[in-house]
Structure 1
């Protein structure tokens, strides 16, 4: 199976973004961008991705879809949402981190992460640095946010984080962002990045995709 066939199968079988799984209709607007930030925080600990996305859905179902709503919510309400999603072990610390992060977004960016984008001025590394100022988000989390948000922030394209590039290499695919980008249209880059991550996290060995 050549690279084009492998990528086609990846997109077909695994090409659902984590934002989509969490029920986020991603647009370049304040609420969905903040929801992606919440998902990023939830994914930034050692916990299964499906539990993290389930926790995001529970928070959003509870009305915590904006930084103001999150900042004004009770800490226990966040913990309870995590309990419904079986997001345990990190529930209390993550509930605290979400409250502090929401306050930061409200105070510094007036609730609108497009202001963070403007501050980064098209520099992906600066964007990642600013994201790391949000409680709980580190290098891995900033990569998660960027690989998903490239759908609506095209200046980041092509963005593949370390995990997705490593998975591409194990599959015999180009393992640079530019190399991978030659095989898909711009609108599919986030889907391909997510597919590579999903395969890397699968209990199956990544090479089975290329059979």
Structure 2
């Protein structure tokens, strides 16, 4: 079982081993702008919409110059709606445009537009991080999980973060649902990359089927 499981993980990572931040063109660093772009991406991904559309919308917001809380809050509501629409994010565009504006305002007023201050307020505790993230308009439990899965690359205290969605991907692949065992099967792969690949398997049955077929 271990040998087969390692092959399954290897094939999954080979084809789908990149984070959603990478897909959205975010070079994640522990600096304000990339962290904010990740928070926006996490909000977009948490809606009931295809991940590819959320990623495209995150790119469109960046291309429109809405890449930090000050610019996002200062933009007109219609500007945010239009940018989301260019990314194909139309089903929830009006509500999301409002949430992005309100969230940017809160981030600016409470944490000076710098999510590292939110991190400091959490004091190194993952439950506190998860709770504080959900105080941002539009970021619920799902959005907080997405952010933590991705940010563990640069916030070590969050790692390893394999949430329920990632573990459901492991289950679909016939892999153990124990995070420690999954990390061992993945070898030197970063937890954030493993988590993203498992989430892709959870969201898309074809990803799981392809990984299982190629590992047989």
How much is the aligned-residue C-alpha RMSD, in angstroms?
Answer: 1.5
- Give unpaired runs (5+ residues) of structure 2: none
1:91 aligns to 2:93 (yes or no): yes
Task: Describe the shift of the 1:187–1:127 C-alpha distance in structure 2 as closer, same or farther (beyond 3 A).
Answer: farther
Deviations 1:4-54 (A, max 9, x none): 211111111011211011111100000000000000111121000000000
Alignment correspondent of 2:64 = 62
CA distance in 1, matches of 2:53, 2:164: 22
* TM alignment of 1:1-211, pairs within 5 A: 2-184=4-186, 188-204=190-206, 206-211=208-213
Query: TM-score if structure 1 supplies the norm length?
Result: 0.95
CA distance in 1, matches of 2:112, 2:188: 30
> How many Å apart are 1:207 and its aligned residue?
4.6
> How many Å apart are 1:180 and its aligned residue?
1.6
CA distance in 2, matches of 1:175, 1:168: 6
Question: After alignment, is 201-210 or 149-158 more displaced?
Answer: 201-210
> How many Å apart are 1:186 and its aligned residue?
6.2
Please identify runs of 4+ aligned residues in structure 1 that moved more than 6 A: none
CA distance in 2, matches of 1:165, 1:91: 30
| Matched-pair contact (CA < 8 Å) for 1:157–1:186 | no
CA distance in 1, matches of 2:72, 2:21: 18
Question: After alignment, is 82-91 or 176-185 more displaced?
Answer: 176-185
Query: TM-score if structure 2 supplies the norm length?
Result: 0.93
> How many Å apart are 1:174 and its aligned residue?
2.4
Question: After alignment, is 39-48 or 179-188 more displaced?
Answer: 179-188
